[in-house]
Structure 1
Amino acid sequence: MASAAALIVVDMQKDFCPPDGSLAVAGGRETIPLINSLLASPGFVVKVATQDFHPKDHVSFASNHPGPNNKPFESLVEIKNLVANKPEETMLQRLWPDHCVQGTAGAEFVEGLDLDNVDVFVQKGMDSRVEMYSAFADSFGNLTGGAGGVNLDLAKTLKQRGVTQVYVVGLAGDFCVKFTALDAAKAGFEVIVIEDAQRCVDPGAWNQLRHELMPDKVEPMSVRSSSSAVDLAEKYWNVNVPEDQRTETCPDFLLGVSERNQAVLATRDEDYRPRDWAAVQHLISVGRIDELCRQPSELRRYMRYTYDLKRKYGSVLSFVQHERLHWQSLTPSGDPPFTNTNDYRIVYNDWPYGVEEGITHLVVWTKFLLEDDEATGRLTARAEQEIEDFVVDTFCGPGGVPRENVKWLKNWKSLKSIHEIGAIVGVAALGLTQMGFSAQDRQYKKTLQYMHDGQEKIAKRMKEASETIQPSAKK
């Protein structure tokens, strides 16, 4: 890598990140581990973080325009180049929800971003009259400093430090990252967009956009490529691995993992924060179960574990069916859901999501498939009610767990490793529960005992699995 390279981290702010951002970009938080790895790299002579910092009356906010042409994401309005006193110059401006307003929480940098490694902060979009996606200039090409659109001349700042090469990452790939990269090229820098470390407003936009950038001397590059960009950040498969066990190439059991899992694997264990009960409840309630993930080193062990299972048993399904559930057949009885105990099993999740101590993670496996709405892919109202009744009867009966201390979810098909068996994932906050049983409460006592003993037994199983699948760790 050239010795005079800069890293520009674009708009990693709360309003651009799920689950609560007003202009949330899907997968925005997934880029944080890789961006932090880049920020920690000694190969950059300067590291920049940009921040959208709009006044309340900004021209891009749909709320500042009269109807009916004021629909966020859809409506376009004409704006004039008033900043340069050239009202004859006009362009169409897309309208957005209010976002990154000065003085609001949404304008703050997202949690987990390593700001200690940032050298220069750029606030942009401060002139209410004009859009400013780029950190270098507004949409008309004007650079206004001080109380205007941006707080400093970024091109001048970089050149004063001898920068000749710029790497761009952040949000959103199809807007602020794109225009920052294009303007950096116009300013004379060699520009590279690290595509693994960006996400787009339109999830499908990047494949087309990457081809559009290259004629403008902006090179999209992956840290997984064989080029010098791979040296910028630690390889995700080597994070949380002892130095003497790291490899130049990705191990077989991690080949083809999703970008989401790559992001988790690239996170240092010490930077990982397990979810507390409030966070678990919220993510399940808003349908963001993809935000529930395992501790990075546990995810690595889990992927090695399932890789070895497939080699030994042919499939994860075969192992779960015969070794975990002890089912000879997957054919359901034909009875209504949850009425025949031979049709389901309640077991610990051997590889639970990363949650705080006191929260137990159970899985209810079912021979019958849970009814989905073909149009939406979600559970039907009837299936939801059947599950709810089962959860209440099984977990929340006399002497059981208060209903507010139990949450259930059905894994998305894209998150399931086994599709031939139905599964309901249950989690319970035992720290809030008063346990009490009577002699006749055998079913409740058995179920709650799963939950009471769950954490200790899960930890033991994970330790045994780790020792089994990673004997080299004892060297």
Structure 2
Amino acid sequence: MGSLTEASTLPYWQVNVPPEEREEECPSFLLSAKGKDVEILGTPDSEYKRMTWPELQGHISRNRLDIFQRTPIELRRYFAFNYEIKKKYGSIMNFVLGEKLHWEHPIVADGEPFEKDSDLSIKRNDWPYGIDERISHLVVWTKFPLEEDPTTGGDSRTFPASLPETVSRVEPAQEDPTTGGDLSDRQRKQIDDYVEKTFRVQCGSDNVIWFRNWAALKSVHSVEHFHVMLFNADQKFLDSITGGDVPISETV
């Protein structure tokens, strides 16, 4: 649906669209696209290179979560889906609570953090990034807030608590004082203990990594959550921990 040469002559909303389906005006669902998203949407899908597991580990170790992106075609579908969801449900939060989690608002936890299974829900990421297809992207939703360290001020980026020995820790390359607070040490340990017993025991330490998105990168702000990536996980295990959840991107 277009070479790199052809794409350079087209407005971003026409790239990756068959000629007979291209619209002269930008469709409503893409009007909110800005910056990096416009650049991705204007790239031929055939030119996109999926991120490998070592690359993903490296980006997370450096807290470069801003590098994660969807493939051009999937990003277009993501915008279209969210546009319709907001029209139907009023917000992404309403959809997630009502259709994905089946939790009532306001959200009230049944116990202390990670004390009760009813306060957590593991689901597939409905619109995963453009990564190696052997990588499973899960989201752990929580009814309880994740405690932040007030001394960190503006840096919400959080290192994964555990990395393979081959992945070194380095300081974030950038600072953004507008994105919120970092996790407290106590909260980070609680999450890592949960990840250990829930994922690493089954999948192996080298095949599991977790992170919490910067506030500026979250698509759902009102329901707390963190992300877990698994490499080459067994499908039966994925089905058991997600209740057979299937990413929406595979069903629409």
Q: Please confirm whether the aligned pair reaches a TM-score higher than 0.5, indicating the same fold.
A: yes
- What's the CA shift for 1:329? 3.4
Which residue does the alignment assign to 2:195? 391
One-letter amino acid matched to 1:392: E
Q: Measure the CA separation in 1 of the matches of 2:48 and 2:8.
A: 21
Contact 2:110/2:118 (<8 A) preserved: no
C-alpha distance 233-384 of structure 1, shift in aligned 2 (>3 A): farther
Counting matched residue pairs gives: 220
- What's the CA shift for 1:332? 2.8
- What's the CA shift for 1:448? 6.7
Contact 2:50/2:132 (<8 A) preserved: yes
Q: Measure the CA separation in 2 of the matches of 1:417 and 1:343.
A: 21
Q: Report the 3-state secondary structure (helix = DSSP H, G, I; strand = E; otherwise coil) of the residue aligned with 1:396.
A: helix
- What's the CA shift for 1:463? 4.1
Give per-residue Cα distances to partners, 1:234-279, cap 9 Å, x unaligned: 2111110111121222111111212011111111110001111101
One-letter amino acid matched to 1:411: N
Q: Which residues in structure 2 correspond to 1:425-464 (within 5 Å)?
A: 425-430=227-232, 449-450=240-241, 457-458=246-247, 461-464=248-251
Which residue does the alignment assign to 1:418? 220
Which residue does the alignment assign to 2:85? 309
Q: Structure 1: which 5+ runs fail to align?
A: 1-35, 42-230, 436-444, 466-475
Q: Which residues in structure 2 correspond to 1:397-416 (within 5 Å)?
A: 397=201, 400-416=202-218
- What's the CA shift for 1:359? 1.0
One-letter amino acid matched to 2:71: Q
Give per-residue Cα distances to partners, 1:107-129, cap 9 Å, x unaligned: xxxxxxxxxxxxxxxxxxxxxxx
C-alpha distance 389-253 of structure 1, shift in aligned 2 (>3 A): same
Query: Which shows bigger deviation, 312-321 or 239-248?
Result: 239-248
Give per-residue Cα distances to partners, 1:137-163, cap 9 Å, x unaligned: xxxxxxxxxxxxxxxxxxxxxxxxxxx
Q: Report the 3-state secondary structure (helix = DSSP H, G, I; strand = E; otherwise coil) of the residue aligned with 2:113.
A: coil
One-letter amino acid matched to 2:187: A
- What's the CA shift for 1:330? 4.0
Contact 1:269/1:296 (<8 A) preserved: yes
- What's the CA shift for 1:357? 2.2
Which residue does the alignment assign to 1:323? 99
Q: Which residues in structure 2 correspond to 1:129-278 (within 5 Å)?
A: 233-278=9-54
C-alpha distance 388-463 of structure 1, shift in aligned 2 (>3 A): closer
C-alpha distance 360-232 of structure 1, shift in aligned 2 (>3 A): closer
One-letter amino acid matched to 1:385: K
Q: Measure the CA separation in 1 of the matches of 2:43 and 2:8.
A: 15
C-alpha distance 367-318 of structure 1, shift in aligned 2 (>3 A): same
Where relative contact order (Cα < 8 A, 6+ residues apart) is larger, the structure is 2
One-letter amino acid matched to 1:294: R
C-alpha distance 238-373 of structure 1, shift in aligned 2 (>3 A): farther
- What's the CA shift for 1:334? 5.8
Give per-residue Cα distances to partners, 1:184-219, cap 9 Å, x unaligned: xxxxxxxxxxxxxxxxxxxxxxxxxxxxxxxxxxxx
Contact 2:200/2:207 (<8 A) preserved: no
Q: Report the 3-state secondary structure (helix = DSSP H, G, I; strand = E; otherwise coil) of the residue aligned with 1:278.
A: helix
Q: Report the 3-state secondary structure (helix = DSSP H, G, I; strand = E; otherwise coil) of the residue aligned with 1:360.
A: strand
C-alpha distance 249-428 of structure 1, shift in aligned 2 (>3 A): same
Q: Structure 2: which 5+ runs fail to align?
A: 156-180
**Residue of 316, 337, 341 corresponding to 2:113:** 337
More helix by share: 2
Q: What's the % identity of the aligned pairs?
A: 38
Contact 2:41/2:72 (<8 A) preserved: yes
Q: Measure the CA separation in 1 of the matches of 2:81 and 2:123.
A: 18
- What's the CA shift for 1:325? 0.5
Which residue does the alignment assign to 1:347? 123
C-alpha distance 332-446 of structure 1, shift in aligned 2 (>3 A): farther
- What's the CA shift for 1:369? 2.0
Q: Measure the CA separation in 1 of the matches of 2:204 and 2:8.
A: 50
- What's the CA shift for 1:462? 2.2
- What's the CA shift for 1:449? 4.1
Q: Report the 3-state secondary structure (helix = DSSP H, G, I; strand = E; otherwise coil) of the residue aligned with 1:275.
A: coil
C-alpha distance 340-320 of structure 1, shift in aligned 2 (>3 A): same
Contact 1:395/1:448 (<8 A) preserved: no
Q: Measure the CA separation in 2 of the matches of 1:463 and 1:364.
A: 19
Contact 1:348/1:450 (<8 A) preserved: no
C-alpha distance 421-311 of structure 1, shift in aligned 2 (>3 A): same
Q: Which residues in structure 2 correspond to 1:22-33 (within 5 Å)?
A: none
One-letter amino acid matched to 1:390: Y
**Residue of 286, 289, 297 corresponding to 2:73:** 297
